[in-house]
Amino acid sequence: MKLVLAIIQERDGKRVADALAENGFFYTKIASTGGFLRDGNQTLLLGVEDERLQEVLEVLKANSDARDQYVSLPSPDVMPSAPLLQAPVRVTVGGAVVFVLDVESFHRW
Ligand code: 2BA
């Protein structure tokens, strides 16, 4: 079994959730915040059997789009000494950022 940890953009949340449910995947959704943009995103935890790993990755990929976003200045919390940027900087935000972890054991009571 694998634990898939997928960080998706908030705007893709409903589409991804509907597709996962339609395909019979269980998941837990956690509201999260990106450390760089400080924008809301969603973190999904999915426990999946090894043989369905590829399938769940395809569902995630098909339903989450990469988008360009503009950042006008570094967050003072992150870079206190950085000067303000003159012009907004374009940043491409995934798609999805996905980690796949081996599950040592799984229990449900
Ligand atoms: P954020 O941290 O808000 O990052 C949003 C986007 O900003 C990133 O998109 C990337 O294109 C850019 N970015 C992030 N850190 C940067 C930096 N130090 N310098 C320049 N550009 C930077 P994605 O890579 O698609 O990441 C989307 C979200 O996924 C991230 O939101 C974060 O919440 C999460 N994420 C990405 N990589 C991660 C990692 N290695 N560990 C944990 N979470 C991660």
Whether the per-residue pLDDT at 5 is higher than 60: the answer is yes
108 CA from centroid of ligand 1 (Å) = 33
Determine if ligand 1 sits within 6 Å of the CB of residue 66.
Answer: no
User: Which residue's CA is minimally distant from atom 25 of ligand 1?
Assistant: 94
Q: How far apart are CA 13 and CA 4, in angstroms?
A: 16
34 CA from centroid of ligand 1 (Å) = 6
Taking residues 49-74, report their average pLDDT: 91
pLDDT tier for residue 67 given thresholds of 50, 70 and 90: confident
Q: By mean pLDDT, which of 52-56, 74-78, 85-89 is the weakest? A: 74-78
Q: How far apart are CA 65 and CA 54, in angstroms?
A: 18
Task: Give the residue, 92 or 80, on which the prediction is more confident.
Answer: 92
Determine if ligand 1 sits within 6 Å of the CB of residue 97.
Answer: yes
pLDDT recorded at residue 73: 63
Q: Which CATH architecture has domain 2-102?
A: 2-Layer Sandwich (3.30)
What integer best gives the mean pLDDT of the chain? 90
Domain positions in the chain are 2-102
Whether the per-residue pLDDT at 85 is higher than 60: the answer is no
Distance, C-alpha 9 to centroid of its chain: 6
